[in-house]
Structure 1
Amino acid sequence: MIHILNRIVDEIELHLGDDIDIDTIAMRAGTTGYHARRMFSSLAGMPVSEYVRRRRMTVAAADLVGDDDLLAIAVRYGYGSTEAFGRAFRAVHGVSHGDVRREGGPLRSQPQLRFRLTVEGSVPMDARIITRPAFRLVGHAARVPLIHEGANPHIQAHIAQLPVEEHARLKSLSDAEPSGLLQVSDDVDPDYTEGAELTYLHGVAVTRETSVPGDLHVIDVPAGSWGVFRSQGPYPATLQSVWAATATEWFPSNPWRLRTGPSIVAVVDRSEDFSTATCELWLPIERA
């Protein structure tokens, strides 16, 4: 995976002024755009789209110091107008392109990324591979923003507004793995951009044959393989650390990649105040 990400970086550098199709680049490198975007975001700390924008504006800054026509520079880096170019430039550098042309800066440069594998592995990851037939996730869904660290207050508010008896009703429907009440994230931005909206479902897994009450939302899940990663410790920090480690440690060293589909968290056990918990993170995977 590391060499694929570096190849993507090289392709981006060669085509900064073009429409960059990450899906096509990833496919040529032997993986999917979905997996490449998720791994890039996890390892680089930014979506690939944001990296492209920063690199374009970094290189464009050097052109602004010269005498090239401003519109020509904007078009060179994929923008149809000086206004659109100016907005992107200010978002990256914090100053206008006019300021740079007159005064030469200040500038915030984005160096070209280079991914390297650091061998750690001092703490083995508790992971297993499971193949499941098609099933359904049923429960109460809401659109919420993605938050990478800490508790998500939007999810907390969504769960808090459910009547206490509704949790018991959902549990009574559960008849498939993963069992019990589940935290489901679906329809996530492929770049995994913080703040982007996703569908969060508080519910349970059921077989395709189970009768589902009409007031519940349903996510149909096709048959396939799952990577199941166990976490135990402070909640949600430990779970989020394990989630990050799947990108930094597990996927680079195993012949699997993410496929499209919901991510599922099953809470196996927890303290009364939910400050600590044992969880299983289910990620949809396929052979790389």
Structure 2
Amino acid sequence: MEWLERMNREVDYIEANLAGEIKMSEVARVACSSSYQFQRMFSFITEVTLAEYIRRRRLTLAALELQQDGTAKVIDIAVKYGYESPVSFARAFQSLHGITPAMARHDGIEMKAYPRLSFLITIKGAEAMNYRIETKESYEVFGIEGIFRIEGDGDAPQTPAKLWEQSHANGDVKRLESCAGELPMFVSRDLHSVHALCSYRKTGPDTFPYMLCAFKDESSNTEGYTSVTIPALTWAIFPSDPHPWDQFNETIEKLYHRFYTEWLPSAGYEQVKGMEFEMYGEKNGLNYIELWFAVRKV
């Protein structure tokens, strides 16, 4: 259960520093992973981003202090929990609690409390989760790279979804398809030519790389594209059921969620640097997805 222990140690660090600075580099050190990898796991498991969890917990504690200490100044509590001014604190406080900080001191006022999270293994339904473990030799991919902020607040395109949208609209996906080589023998013949690769190199503490990519062979035209060598790795591969296009987002989110909440905590594997592939294909006129996670035994 080392994976769960690490996740809980990370929450311990966050909780101990809610009234202070939370360093993502320290979160990564405690987690023995990258900041991006931890924040990604956190959001898929809890269905809330790490930044939002921290915001809710700080405003929960701030409300308790306002109720319990009638002499505490709002500006002091605002600064304690990371807000630069009473105005920004009041705006955030009212957004969460529906009242102003001053009103929180009154008897009978209703507010929201978000408790500390703990990570546990729970027994769920008996729905099967199909997967396979495959070891691949080194190979190369190439494609269109974007660097994104973890919270999605960077320069445009702001998210991988935006990169896909823009690349379809301007014809970049079609051009990449035309430059791709043959699919390698170790992947399904039902897969398309263009896929997505994530977290294949370090960028920054709060950013991650994401690439629309194709497999490279002797016939590929890689001019103008970013090339990446994928080292020999073991992959845990999770295929989806075939689905219509309008169910794509629901399907991929469910695969990610089940990987992090059901398979990874008890499988005896851990992720390797967070590297992932999203493979897209088609069967009998329906779409399907394969999520590839680089893993190693623990």
Q: Normalising by structure 1, what TM-score?
A: 0.75
Q: Which residue of 1 aligns with 2:289?
A: 279
CA–CA separation in structure 2 for the residues paired with 1:155 and 1:165 = 12
Return the letter of the residue paired with 1:278. Y
CA–CA separation in structure 2 for the residues paired with 1:270 and 1:153 = 26
| Cα deviation, residue 106, structure 1 | 4.5
Deviations 1:51-96 (A, max 9, x none): 1111111011122232112222123223444344334323433443
- SS across alignment from 1:120: coil
Return the letter of the residue paired with 2:50. V
Go from structure 1 to structure 2 and tell me whether the alpha carbon gap of 1:176 and 1:87 turns closer, same or farther (over 3 Å shift).
farther
CA–CA separation in structure 1 for the residues paired with 2:95 and 2:269 = 36
Go from structure 1 to structure 2 and tell me whether the alpha carbon gap of 1:165 and 1:108 turns closer, same or farther (over 3 Å shift).
closer
Q: Which residue of 1 aligns with 2:164?
A: 155
CA–CA separation in structure 2 for the residues paired with 1:256 and 1:84 = 43
| Cα deviation, residue 7, structure 1 | 3.4
Q: Which residue of 1 aligns with 2:195?
A: 183
- SS across alignment from 2:22: coil
CA–CA separation in structure 1 for the residues paired with 2:268 and 2:36 = 16
Partner of residue 203 from structure 1, selected from 213, 217, 224: 213
CA–CA separation in structure 2 for the residues paired with 1:171 and 1:281 = 20
Task: Determine if contact 1:34/1:258 at 8 Å carries over to the other structure.
Answer: no
Return the letter of the residue paired with 2:288. T
Gaps of 5+ in 1: 191-195
Return the letter of the residue paired with 1:241. K
CA–CA separation in structure 2 for the residues paired with 1:22 and 1:157 = 30
Q: Does 1:44 align with 2:46?
A: yes
- SS across alignment from 2:240: strand
CA–CA separation in structure 2 for the residues paired with 1:202 and 1:9 = 33
Return the letter of the residue paired with 1:159. H
CA–CA separation in structure 2 for the residues paired with 1:264 and 1:204 = 11
Gaps of 5+ in 2: 147-155
CA–CA separation in structure 2 for the residues paired with 1:218 and 1:83 = 47
CA–CA separation in structure 2 for the residues paired with 1:167 and 1:32 = 30
Partner of residue 138 from structure 1, selected from 136, 142, 146: 142
Task: Determine if contact 2:141/2:213 at 8 Å carries over to the other structure.
Answer: yes
| Cα deviation, residue 31, structure 1 | 5.7
CA–CA separation in structure 1 for the residues paired with 2:38 and 2:172 = 40
Partner of residue 166 from structure 1, selected from 175, 178, 181: 175
Return the letter of the residue paired with 1:213. T
Q: Which residue of 2 aligns with 1:238?
A: 251
CA–CA separation in structure 1 for the residues paired with 2:259 and 2:287 = 19
Q: Does 1:74 align with 2:74?
A: no
CA–CA separation in structure 1 for the residues paired with 2:34 and 2:257 = 19
CA–CA separation in structure 2 for the residues paired with 1:55 and 1:262 = 30
CA–CA separation in structure 2 for the residues paired with 1:34 and 1:119 = 28
Q: Which residue of 1 aligns with 2:57?
A: 55
Q: Which residue of 2 aligns with 1:116?
A: 120
- SS across alignment from 2:19: coil
| Cα deviation, residue 204, structure 1 | 1.1
CA RMSD across the alignment: 3.7
- SS across alignment from 2:241: strand
Return the letter of the residue paired with 1:203. C
Go from structure 1 to structure 2 and tell me whether the alpha carbon gap of 1:162 and 1:26 turns closer, same or farther (over 3 Å shift).
closer
